[in-house]
Amino acid sequence: MTSRLLQIARIAARHRLDALASAEALAAGDIPRGVRWALRAWPGRWLPTPHRPPAVRLRLALEALGPVFIKFGQLLSTRRDMLPPDYAEELAKLQDHVPPFPGEEALALVEEALGADFRARIRRFDVEPLASASIAQVHGAVLTDGSEVVAKVVRPDIEGTMRADLEVLARLAGWIDRHIAASRRLRLPEVAADYAGTVLKELDMLQEAANTQRLRENFAGSNLLYVPQVHQDLTRPNLLVLERIKGLPVSQVEALKAQGTDLALLARRGVETFFTQVFVHNFFHADMHPGNIFVDVQDPQDPHYIALDCAIIGQLSKRDQDYLARNLLAFFNRDYRQVARLHLESGWVPQRTDEAEFERVIREVCDPIFAKPLTEISFGNFLIDLFRTAAEFDMEIQPQLVLLQKTLLYVEGVGRQLYPQLDLWETAKPFMERWMRERVGPLAAMRRFAERAPDVFEQLPRLPELIADTGRTLRRLESGLKEQQADTRKLEDAFARSQRRRRGQRAVGAALACLAAVLLWGPVSQAFSDNLAVFAGLLSALASSYLLVRA
C-alpha cells in the first residue's frame, strides 16, 4: 500500500496535479485547514507548471496510474453534472489500450485453463492478439469443428494490482467524504464501493459469459441486437470463448455509408435497443462505447447492432425503474410539477424541499431547452443539466443511476454520429407511453391478476380457514395492543412520579444549600455556638450536595 501511494504521489507531482486548484479556490473551499496549508506550503507549487491544460494533465496522470484509475476516469467523464465541461470532454478520451503481453504467455494460460480440452477442441490458436486492453486481451482461434472463435484471456497477476488500487480509491473516497462537507451529496464511498464491485466483475469471465448468454437470450430473434454465442464448455474464470463475429465497427461511419447502410434506421434502433434493455428486460449493457459495438450490414437496408464485452451490466430496482419512466414521460410532456413531485416521492431530493420552488427552477432550466428544434436537443446533456440543478436542492447522487446515465450518453453519441438528425425524443416517447400503458391501468391490472391466478385459485379452498386465522390474529394483535397501551401508561406514571421526586429533591437540596450558607456565615455562626453552627452547616451542605447530585 505504501509503495503504491508513493508511486501515485510521484505521478501526481510529475503532472502537477496540485496546480489543478488555485490558491484562491483552496482558500474558498471547505478543505480541512491542515490540508489546505500543506498544499499551499508544498514546494512543488513554485515549480514551473506544464504547458498542457489542467484537464489534459489529469487524463495523462490517470492513464499512467493504470486500469483502475483509467476506468474510474471514464466513469467520472459521464458525471457532467459534477465536472467542468473541459474535464468531462478530456476524461471521455481515456483509453485503456495497453501494450499486449506476449502471445506465447497467453497460449500457455489457455492451455493451462483448458487442460486436455485444448488439444481435443482447439485446432489453431493465433499468438498475435486481435486487441489488447488493461484487463484482458483477445486472440483468434479455430475449433476442431471449423468454427471461428475468439479467446479473451485475463492478464496474469492483474487481480492483485487492481485490488490494491481499489483499496486506495476507497480510502481516498472515505477521507474526502469525512473531511469535505460539500462532497457528501456525491456519496463517494458508495460510488467507490459500487465501482469496485463492477470492476472486479470484469475479471470473472464466467460472470461475463453468463451476462452475454442472458443478453443473447433477451434479444433472440430480434432485429435490434445480435450477441455472439458463448462456448460455455470452453469458458473458465480467466478465459472466455465466443463466436467470432463479422461486422463493421460503429465508429466507421464512412465505411457504413459506402455499404449503403440505412443510417437513420440504425440510429433509431440504437435508441430502441437502449430503452428495451432498461424498461423491458431490466438488464442493460452498461459499457456501450463505440469500441464494443459493431454493425451487421449483410442487408444494408436492415442493419442491426452486434454487442461485445458484456462484463458491465446494469439493473434498476422496480421502484427506480417506475420513477425513472414516469420522470421521462413528465419531461416529454413538460409536466414540471409532476417532475418535482416524483423527485420528492422517490427520495431523490429531501422531503423538506419546497415543491413549488423546485418546480419553478426546473421550468427555468427546461423551457429554454425545449425552445430549440428537437433534433438539436441532447437528451443526455438535458438530464445532466437537471441533475446539476437538483444538486442545489441537496439531491444526492444516485449510484444506481450512474451506469444508466453513462450508457444513455454513449447511445445518444453513437446515434448522433450515425445520423445527426436523430430525434431521440420522437423515438423514445412512443416507447415510454406504450410501456406505461402496459404497466399501469386496467389491462395491466388484469394481466397481473392472470399471472397470479393459479396461486389465487390454489388458495381459494382455504379461504374460510384463512379468514378465521386472520380474525384470530387480529384479535391477538388487538389484545397485545391493549396490553402495550397499559404498560405504556404505567411507564408514563412511573416517569411522572420520578420527575416529581427529582423536582422535590432539587428543591430540598437548594433549601439545604441556602441553610448551609447561612449557618456557615461568620456573623450567624458567632451568634450561636460556633461548633454547633459549623456542624449544622456542614451537615446541610453534605445533604444538599447528595440530593442535588441524585436529582
Q: What positions carry a catalytic annotation?
A: 287
- Helix, strand or coil, per DSSP, at residue 325: helix
Q: CB-side exposure of 221: number of CA atoms within 13 Å?
A: 0
- Joined together, the cell numbers standing for residue 59 give 487524463
Judge contact between 342 and 334, C-beta under 8 A: no
Judge contact between 343 and 383, C-beta under 8 A: no
Q: How far does Cα 426 stand from its chain's mean position?
A: 28
β-bridge pairing 293-296 and 304-307: antiparallel
Integer Cα distance of 124 and 25 in angstroms: 59
Integer Cα distance of 240 and 311 in angstroms: 11
Question: Buried (b) or exposed (e) across 294-320, using 16+ Cβ within 10 A?
Answer: bbbbeebeebbbbbbbbbbbbbbeeeb
Q: CB-side exposure of 493: number of CA atoms within 13 Å?
A: 6
* Closest C-alpha to 179, from 39, 34, 42, 6: 34
- Helix, strand or coil, per DSSP, at residue 148: strand
Cβ atoms within 10 Å, residue 521:
13
- Joined together, the cell numbers standing for residue 500 give 416529581
Integer Cα distance of 92 and 75 in angstroms: 9
β-bridge pairing 304-307 and 225-226: parallel
First-last CA distance in the chain:
54
Q: Going by C-beta distance under 8 Å and a sequence separation of 6 or more, which residues neighbour residue 309?
A: 208, 287, 292
Q: How far does Cα 189 stand from its chain's mean position?
A: 10
* Closest C-alpha to 339, from 280, 298, 277, 395: 395
DSSP 71-113: HHHHHHHT-TTTS-HHHHHHHTT---B-PPPPHHHHHHHHHHH
CA angle 134, 115, 217 (to 5 degrees): 60
Judge contact between 189 and 268, C-beta under 8 A: no
- Joined together, the cell numbers standing for residue 504 give 422535590
Judge contact between 103 and 110, C-beta under 8 A: no
Length of the chain: 551
Return phi, psi of residue 144, to 5°: -65, -20
Q: Going by C-beta distance under 8 Å and a sequence separation of 6 or more, which residues neighbour residue 169?
A: 68, 69, 72, 192, 195, 196
Could you tell me which residues are beta bridge partners of residue 226?
306
- Helix, strand or coil, per DSSP, at residue 141: strand
